[in-house]
């Protein structure tokens, strides 16, 4: 029963990681669009990343994502304006470009970690099959 719980937990983590990775890829696509860099950053954040919780990311990426989140919510918005819009409005174009590069870097790091995780999960699954074969061959069926 514990093995089934572990498998379900791994599948849930894998699914969540894939969803977050897809959202970052969508954000990168928005970051490289034809609009001015500030608008691209606002769109990437508002449409793709804003509602991702820091704890949903792998630990190695949380600090950098937290810094990005803080940068996107530093300014007090005007009526009918989001915190991201207000924060980016107060940034220079160079600062906005730096944060779009940070989104790209986080996306790349997330892809790398995702590939490593898939490899580790596959290795763990193979180890479980071997152990099951040694301990209880009937479980392989």
| pLDDT value, residue 94 | 97
CA–CA distance, 53 with 97 (Å, rounded to integer) = 23
| pLDDT value, residue 134 | 40
Q: What is the DSSP string of 49-73?
A: ITT--GGGS-HHHHHHHHHHHHHTT
First-to-last CA distance in the chain?
A: 16
| pLDDT value, residue 1 | 54
Q: Is the pLDDT of residue 107 over 60?
A: yes
Rg, Å, the chain Cα set = 20
Is the entire prediction scored with pTM above 0.85?
Answer: no
* Long-range CB contact pairs, 23-27, < 8 A, 24+: 23/48, 23/49, 23/52, 24/48, 24/49, 24/103, 24/106, 24/107, 24/110, 25/107, 27/103, 27/107
Number of domains in the chain: 1
* Residues composing the chain: 141
Instruction: Give pLDDT tens digits for 117-135.
Output: 655 545 444 444 334 334 3
Instruction: Give pLDDT tens digits for 20-31.
Output: 999 999 999 999
Instruction: Give pLDDT tens digits for 80-99.
Output: 999 999 999 999 999 999 99
| pLDDT value, residue 21 | 93
What percent of the chain shows pLDDT beyond 70?
A: 74
Mean pLDDT (the chain) is: 82
Range of the domain at 12: 2-140
| pLDDT value, residue 92 | 97
Comparing CA positions, the residue from 39, 10, 42, 45 lying closest to residue 24 is 45
DSSP 81: -
């Amino acid at each position: 029963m514990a093995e089934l719980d572990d498998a379900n937990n791994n599948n849930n983590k894998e699914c969540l990681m894939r969803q977050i990775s897809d959202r970052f890829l969508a954000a990168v696509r928005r970051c490289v669009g034809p609009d001015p860099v500030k608008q691209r950053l606002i769109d990437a954040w508002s449409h793709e990343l804003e509602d991702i919780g820091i704890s949903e990311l792998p630990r190695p990426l949380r600090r950098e994502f937290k810094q990005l989140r803080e940068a996107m919510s530093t300014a007090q918005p005007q009526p009918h304006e989001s915190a991201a819009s207000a924060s980016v409005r107060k940034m220079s174009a160079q600062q906005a470009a730096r944060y779009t590069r940070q989104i790209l870097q986080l996306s790349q790091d997330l892809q790398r970690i995702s590939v490593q995780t898939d490899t580790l999960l596959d290795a763990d699954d193979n180890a479980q099959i071997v152990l099951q074969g040694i301990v209880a061959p009937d479980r392989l069926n």
